[in-house]
Amino acid sequence: MSRALLVVDVQNGFVNPFTAHVPDRVRRLIERGEHDPVLFTRFVNTENGPYGRFLDWHACAEPPETDLAPALAPLAAPDLVFTKPGFTGIPDDLAARLRDLAPRSVAVVGIDTDMCVLKVAMDVFDLGIKPVVLVDCCASTAGLQAHLAGLAVLARNIGADQLQDAGLANGYLGAPPEST
């Protein structure tokens, strides 16, 4: 089996100037055809959940913020999109799917490196599956420093060898400058 790909929270509510390059990179990665299956998560900020109660943050509660980014939506079969509330990395139905698939490794990409990507990669690790974070297909809504902090924590917790480059960054460490 090819390596599975898990696309984490590349949705409208998380696309900003620091992450705007991620949907296109992930689309190009998928179009290479190197991963099977391609699974997606989308974060939904649930009513009465911890974000609203503890942080007074109420965004990403409904469409269009919870919809996958337009570059990816046509590539996501409904049965391969898994909804996750809060910091839940891998919801139960996705964990069950991964156990059934039993891939040797799962490539993890998406938004936010320092939060959801980190949690998902560590959950994949806890399932006994090797997570491989493709660093050039991840970013943080809080910017490059948060992205790098997430990578530092991931290197320590899942192993630096599991942080790899997909070759889609065109030489840029963070978000590329806007073309003029």
- Tens digit of each residue's pLDDT (9 = 90 or more) over 64-97: 999 999 999 999 999 999 999 876 789 999 999 9
Distance CA 166, CA 109 (A): 10
Is 129 part of any domain? yes
Is 175 part of any domain? no
Is 177 part of any domain? no
Chain centroid to Cα 7, Å, comes to 4
- Cβ(172)–Cβ(25) below 8 Å: no
For the chain (length 180 residues), average pLDDT per consecutive 10? 89 97 97 96 90 88 95 97 86 96 96 96 97 98 97 98 95 74
**Adjacent-strand bridge partners of 44:** 85
Domain count, the chain: 1
In sequence order, the 6+-apart residues with CB closer than 8 A to the CB of 166 are: 25, 29, 107, 109, 134, 136, 137
Rounded to two decimals, the pTM is 0.94
Is 151 part of any domain? yes
| CATH number reported for the structural domain that contains residue 80 in this entry | 3.40.50.850
Per-residue pLDDT at 96? 97
Is 117 part of any domain? yes
The b-or-e profile of 92-115 (16+ CB within 10 A means b, else e) is eebbebbeeeebeebbbbbbbbbb
Is 173 part of any domain? no
Domain that holds residue 18: 3-164
Distance CA 18, CA 74 (A): 23
Distance CA 93, CA 8 (A): 15
Per-residue pLDDT at 87? 67
Tokens 């898990």 belong to 6
Phi, psi of 41, rounded to the nearest 5 degrees: -115, 155
